[in-house]
Chain A
Amino acid sequence: MEQDNFDKEAPNRLFSEELSPPAAFSWENMEGGIQRPQRRRRRGLFYFTGCLGALLLLIGIGLFGLFENNHQQEKIADNIILPPIKNVEKTDSQPFAPIDNSIKEEQSATAENSFLPFQKLAHNQNEQATFTENFTENFTENFTEKSSNKLGESNISRDKEEVKKNVATHKISHSKVPHLALEKIEALPILLNSLQSSENIPFLQKLAITEERTTIKNSGKWQLMLGGGTSFVDNIYHSKSDAVNAAMQPALSRPFAYTLSGGIIYQSPKNFFAGVGLRFVEHKNLFRYDQNENREIMVENAVTQVTINTFTGQETEVRDTRIDTEIRVRDVQKVNRIRLWEIPLTAGYAFNFKDWQVRLNGEIGAARMGVSGFVLNENLQLVDAANTLFPNQNRLAFFYGGGAEINRSLTSRLSAGLNLRMVQYGNIGEKTGLYQVMPRRVGLSFAIKYNL
Chain B
Amino acid sequence: MSEQKKEYTEKQLKLACLDGQLKAQRHLYELLLPYVYTICRKYFIPTAYQKDMIQDIFSEVFMKLDRFNPEKGVLKTWVRHISIYRIIDYKRKNGKMQILEISPDFHESTAPEIWKKLYLEDFLKLTKDMPEGYRTIFFLTQSEGYSHEESGELLGISAQTSRSQLSRAKNWLRKNLQPEYIK
Interface residues of A (CB under 8 A from B): 2-3, 5-7, 9-11, 13-15, 17-21, 24-25, 27, 30-31, 33-40, 295-301, 328
A35: B residues at CB distance < 8 A = 59, 62-63
* Residue from the list B18, B55, B123, B142 in contact with A37, Cβ < 8 A: B18
- Chain A minimum-CB-distance residue to B28: A36
Q: How far is the CA of A31 from the CA of B115 in the complex (A)?
A: 38
- Say yes or no: B37 contacts A14, CB within 8 Å: no
A-B contact pairs, 11 of them (CB 8 A): A2-B111, A5-B115, A10-B115, A18-B35, A19-B37, A25-B33, A25-B54, A35-B63, A295-B48, A298-B46, A298-B94
In B102-119, the 8 Å CB interface with A consists of 108-111, 113, 115-116, 118-119
Q: Which of B19-27, B67-75, B150-158 contacts A (4 or more CB under 8 A)?
A: B19-27
Complex interface bits, B45-64 against A, C-beta within 8 A gives 1, otherwise 0: 01011111011001100110
Which of B50, B51, B96 has most A Cβ within 10 Å?
Answer: B51
- Say yes or no: B94 contacts A34, CB within 8 Å: no
- From known contacts A9-B116, A295-B52, infer whether A36 and B111 are also in contact, taking CB-CB under 8 Å: no
Whether a CB of chain A sits under 8 angstroms from the CB of B179 is no
- Say yes or no: B111 contacts A27, CB within 8 Å: no
Interface residues of B (CB under 8 A from A): 17-22, 25-26, 29-30, 33-35, 37-38, 41, 46, 48-52, 54-55, 58-59, 62-63, 65, 94-96, 108-111, 113, 115-116, 118-121, 123, 139, 142-143, 145, 170
Question: What's the dominant secondary structure at chain B's contact region?
Answer: helix
- Say yes or no: B55 contacts A30, CB within 8 Å: yes
Q: How far is the CA of A107 from the CA of B46 in the complex (A)?
A: 102
- Chain A minimum-CB-distance residue to B108: A3
* Residue from the list B30, B50, B120 in contact with A14, Cβ < 8 A: B120
Q: How far is the CA of A53 from the CA of B161 in the complex (A)?
A: 70
* Residue from the list A13, A30, A37, A39 in contact with B51, Cβ < 8 A: A30
A-B contact count (CB 8 A): 120
Q: How far is the CA of A306 from the CA of B163 in the complex (A)?
A: 40
A37: B residues at CB distance < 8 A = 17-20, 62-63, 65
- Say yes or no: B96 contacts A300, CB within 8 Å: yes
B28 to chain A, nearest CB (A): 9
A370 to chain B, nearest CB (A): 15
- From known contacts A3-B110, A18-B35, infer whether A36 and B25 are also in contact, taking CB-CB under 8 Å: yes
B54: A residues at CB distance < 8 A = 25, 30
A298: B residues at CB distance < 8 A = 46, 94
* Residue from the list A15, A19, A21, A300 in contact with B143, Cβ < 8 A: A15
- From known contacts A11-B143, A34-B29, A300-B95, infer whether A5 and B111 are also in contact, taking CB-CB under 8 Å: yes
B115: A residues at CB distance < 8 A = 5-6, 9-10, 14
Q: How far is the CA of A39 from the CA of B24 in the complex (A)?
A: 12
- Say yes or no: A6 contacts B34, CB within 8 Å: no
- Chain B minimum-CB-distance residue to A1: B110
Q: How far is the CA of A183 from the CA of B153 in the complex (A)?
A: 102
- Chain B minimum-CB-distance residue to A13: B116
A11: B residues at CB distance < 8 A = 142-143, 145
Q: How far is the CA of A59 from the CA of B121 in the complex (A)?
A: 64
B148 to chain A, nearest CB (A): 13
- From known contacts A15-B143, A17-B119, infer whether A36 and B37 are also in contact, taking CB-CB under 8 Å: no
Q: How far is the CA of A20 from the CA of B63 in the complex (A)?
A: 25
- Chain A minimum-CB-distance residue to B96: A300
- From known contacts A9-B115, A19-B41, A30-B29, infer whether A38 and B142 are also in contact, taking CB-CB under 8 Å: no
5 more CB-based (< 8 A) A-B contacts, given A24-B51, A34-B62: A2-B110, A15-B143, A25-B37, A30-B51, A36-B62
* Residue from the list A2, A14, A18 in contact with B123, Cβ < 8 A: A14
B38: A residues at CB distance < 8 A = 17-19
- Say yes or no: A27 contacts B96, CB within 8 Å: no
A9: B residues at CB distance < 8 A = 111, 115-116
- From known contacts A19-B34, A21-B34, infer whether A296 and B46 are also in contact, taking CB-CB under 8 Å: yes
B60 to chain A, nearest CB (A): 8
A299: B residues at CB distance < 8 A = 94-95
A5 to chain B, nearest CB (A): 6
- Say yes or no: A36 contacts B17, CB within 8 Å: yes
- Say yes or no: A39 contacts B29, CB within 8 Å: no
B66 to chain A, nearest CB (A): 9
- Say yes or no: B20 contacts A7, CB within 8 Å: no
A17: B residues at CB distance < 8 A = 38, 119-120
